[in-house]
Amino acid sequence: MTMTNPQTYPQPAVELAGFVDDHLYGCEPVADCGVCGALARELAEARDAREHGKAYDAAAEIRNHPHPAKRKP
């Protein structure tokens, strides 16, 4: 699998890197969802391993993971 990253900077500023990271990998895994939990772990591991394509996919899956409407207890 190939990922093209249009935003390449020779020496990204720390704040900028954080911003790009949030943009690429920002997601809100649902706390009590096992799938989101597994994907969040996958995302963290992929980022540690600098597997950006895999990390991006995991974040996208978390964002797209469907959940039934929350009911109040």
Residues lying near Zn ion in the complex (CB under 5 A) = 30, 33, 35-36, 65
Cα end-to-end span (Å), the chain: 43
Minimum separation from the CB atom of position 58 to Zn ion (A): 12
Minimum separation from the CB atom of position 25 to Zn ion (A): 16
Closest to Zn ion by CB, 54 vs 65, is 65
Query: 24 near 56, Cβ under 8 Å?
Result: yes
Minimum separation from the CB atom of position 64 to Zn ion (A): 9
Closest to Zn ion by CB, 12 vs 37, is 37
- DSSP track, 3-20: ---S---SS--HHHHHHH
Closest to Zn ion by CB, 24 vs 35, is 35
Separation CA 44–CA 29 (nearest Å): 12
